[in-house]
Amino acid sequence: MKIIMLGAPGAGKGTQAKKIAAKYDIPHISTGDIFRANIKNGTELGKKAKTYMDQGLLVPDELVVDLVVDRVNQEDCSNGYVLDGFPRTIPQAEALDKALADLGQKMDYAIDVDVPDENIVNRMGGRRACVGCGATYHLVFAPTKEEGICDTCGKELILRDDDKPETVQKRLNVYHEQTQPLIEYYSKAGILKTVDGTVDMNDVFQAIVDILGE
């Protein structure tokens, strides 16, 4: 079972990807993890990726696809995997499809965790992070016992720049421009499934299980 997770930043697709991986005993693969593992292990692909990252440049699509294909060809992916955060653009999706086709493989599902922008801005704007231990909370969904104080270490909580409404909106704009076209791409391919990401995360997961089967 080969699955791609789609959804705007803050839609909760990473959380769902981890839950899918645990339930179906398949690897949860994020491009960030792949980069780190290859760089740490000093692989040829890792060295190439590092030259771009050290200059603050984006790793080219071709190299990202090579890294992903290398990862999904490993033994632990023989029963499938969940791709989280990749592909992000149509060219990446096309390159991935081609690389998989060359191996006689294809993706089975693209699951879109659908959440309106307004919900995401509110959701992320309610996040708070501890300046001391880095623990994260949410004003509505996971509040601290004492307002503004970390339950774990007692230090103060802050709203990170990443979670400020204007920053979140910028990230959403980039998502709509670059990544949202993938929804139509996978819809045409006949593998798109959409779930309502505004409900409780356990209900979102149940909707995904209903699609994938027990």
Residue recorded with tokens 């103060």 = 156
CA distance 109 to 97: 13
pLDDT given for residue 33 in this prediction: 87
CB 104 within 8 A of CB 194: no
DSSP state of 86: -
pLDDT attached to residue 65 = 92
Positions marked catalytic: 13, 88, 127, 160, 171
89 phi/psi in degrees, rounded to 5: -135, 165
Main-chain dihedrals φ then ψ at residue 150, nearest 5 degrees: -70, 130
The secondary structure element, H or E, covering residue 67 is helix 61-72
State how beta strands 81-84 and 28-30 pair: parallel
Q: What is the pLDDT along the chain (214 residues), one digit of tens a residue?
A: 999 999 998 899 989 999 999 999 999 999 888 988 999 999 999 999 999 888 888 888 899 999 999 999 999 999 999 999 899 899 999 999 999 999 899 999 999 999 999 999 988 899 999 999 989 999 988 899 999 999 999 999 999 988 899 999 998 998 899 889 999 999 999 999 999 999 999 999 999 999 999 8
Contacts of residue 138, defined as CB under 8 A and 6 or more positions apart, other chains included, come to: 123, 126, 127, 128
Which pLDDT score, from 0 to 100, does residue 25 have? 96
Does residue 34 contact residue 117 with C-beta atoms inside 8 Å? no
Full-model pTM: 0.84
d(CA 208, CA 202): 10
Beta-bridged to residue 194, according to DSSP, are 112
Longest CA span, the chain: 56
Looking at residue 80, what is its pLDDT? 95
- Residue 174: predicted pLDDT: 87
Concatenated DSSP letters for 130-192?
ETTT--EEETTTB--SSTTB-TTT--BEE--GGGSHHHHHHHHHHIIIIITHHHHHHHHTT-E
pLDDT at 93: 96
Per CATH, domain 2-212 is 3.40.50.300: yes
pLDDT of residue 9: 87
pLDDT for residue 59: 86
Cβ pair 20, 208 in contact under 8 A: yes
Q: Tell me the domain boundaries of the chain.
A: 2-212
DSSP 59: P
Q: What is the pLDDT of residue 53?
A: 86
